[in-house]
C-alpha cells in the first residue's frame, strides 16, 4: 500500500532533469539512484569486472552532474547515459590498456581454453571474448545483444549510421563464432 503511494508520487525523469539543471541536488540524487544500476550494468558488461564497472559508473555520475545543466534532450536520457558510459569505459580502458593488457589477455585465454564451462560460464566466456573485440564492435555487441537495442537505437547511441552498426555486428559475430568454436572444442 505504502509502496503504491510512493510510486504514484514518483517524479518523472524529465522533471528531475529540469530541477537538477537548476542545481537541485535532491533531484540529481534521485535521478542517479534511479539509473545507477543501469549504468553499472552497462559498465560491467563492457569491463567484465566489478571494480572497473564501479569506477566507470562513478565517472559517469560525475560527468552527468557536470553536464546536466546543458542537457537538452528530454526523452533521451537513457541514450545519453549509454553514450556517457561507453565514453567513460573507453577512457578508462585506454588508460589501463598498457598496464593490464597482458593480464587480461591471459585471463581471457584461461577463460576460453581452461576448464569446461557450465551454461552460465559459457555466456561469461562469450563476454570475455566480446571484450577482446575492437572497441566499436564491442560497443555494438554490448548494445544490441547485451542491452537488446535495435540497430537503429544503437546507431543513435554510437553516433553512426545504422548500416555501420549492422556491419560491426556482422564482423563481431564472425570473430565470436570462432571463439565459440574453440570453446566447444575445449
Partner 1 sequence: MIMAKDEFDILRSAAVPAPRAEARARAIQAALVALRSGETSAAPQGTRRGLRLTTRAIRLWSGIMPKNLIAAPALAGLVALPIAGYATFHLLNERPFAVLPDQGAGMPDSPQLAGRKEQDALARNAATVSPKQEIAPALSKMRVTSDGRRESQIRPGEVDNSKLMADQAADALPDAMTQPEANRDRVADFKSNRVRSTLEEPVSTFSIDADTASYSFVRRSLKEGVLPQADTVRVEEMINYFPYGWKGPAEASAPFNSTVSVMPTPWNDHTKLMHIAIKGYDLKPEERPKANLVFLIDVSGSMIEELTLLRSTFRLLVGKLGPDDTISIVTYAGEAGTVLEPTRASERAKILQAIDALQPGGSTAGEAGIQEAYRLAEKSFVKGGVNRVMLATDGDFNLGQTDDDDLKRIIEEKRKSGVFLSVFGFGRGNLNDRMMQTIAQSGNGTAVYIDTLAAAEKVLVEEASSTLFPIAKDVKIQVEFNPEKVSEYRHIGYETRGHNREDFNNDRIDAGEIGSGHAVTAIYEITPKSSTATVIHDLRYGQAKTNNAAGVANTDEYAFVKIRYKLPDGDVSKLITTPVTSANDLSSFAVAGDDQRFSVAVAAFGQKLRDADQTAGMSYYRIAEIADAARGADPFGYRAEFLSLVWRASALESGHLENGHVDCAGGKGTGLVAVTSDDLYDLDRDGDGIACK
Per CB under 8 A, contacts with partner 1 among 140-179 are 141, 144-151, 153, 169, 173, 176-177
CB 182, min distance to partner 1, A: 14
Site for partner 1 in 25-44 (CB under 8 A): 25-34, 36-37, 40-41, 44
All cell numbers assigned to 96: 589501463
Spatial neighbors of 116 by CB under 8 A, at least 6 apart, are 186
DSSP-assigned letter for residue 48:
S
Q: Site map for partner 1, 90-129, x if CB under 8 A?
A: xxx-xxx--xx--xx-xx--x--------xx-xxx-xx--
Site for partner 1 in 42-81 (CB under 8 A): 44-45, 49-55, 57-71, 80
Count the site residues for partner 1 by CB under 8 A.
94
CB 147, min distance to partner 1, A: 8
| Residue found by looking up cell 573485440 in the block | 133
DSSP-assigned letter for residue 69:
G
**Closest alpha carbon to 86 in 34, 145, 37, 158:** 158
Looking at the chain, how many residues does it have?
186
Amino acid at each position: 500500500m505504502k509502496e503504491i503511494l510512493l510510486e504514484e508520487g514518483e517524479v518523472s525523469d524529465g522533471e528531475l532533469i529540469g530541477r537538477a539543471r537548476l542545481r537541485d541536488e535532491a533531484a540529481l540524487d534521485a535521478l542517479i539512484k534511479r539509473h545507477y544500476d543501469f549504468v553499472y550494468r552497462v559498465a560491467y558488461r563492457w569491463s567484465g569486472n566489478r571494480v572497473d564497472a564501479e569506477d566507470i559508473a562513478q565517472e559517469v555520475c560525475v560527468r552527468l552532474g557536470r553536464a546536466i545543466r546543458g542537457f537538452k534532450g528530454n526523452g533521451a536520457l537513457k541514450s545519453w547515459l549509454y553514450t556517457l558510459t561507453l565514453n567513460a569505459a573507453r577512457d578508462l580502458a585506454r588508460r589501463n590498456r598498457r598496464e593490464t593488457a597482458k593480464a587480461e589477455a591471459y585471463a581471457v585465454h584461461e577463460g576460453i581454453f581452461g576448464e569446461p564451462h557450465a551454461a552460465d560460464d559459457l555466456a561469461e566466456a562469450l563476454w570475455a571474448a566480446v571484450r577482446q573485440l575492437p572497441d566499436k564492435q564491442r560497443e555494438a555487441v554490448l548494445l544490441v545483444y547485451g542491452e537488446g537495442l535495435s540497430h537503429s537505437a544503437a546507431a543513435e547511441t554510437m553516433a553512426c549510421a545504422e548500416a555501420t552498426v549492422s556491419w560491426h555486428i556482422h564482423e563481431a559475430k564472425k570473430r565470436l563464432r570462432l571463439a565459440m568454436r574453440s570453446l566447444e572444442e575445449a
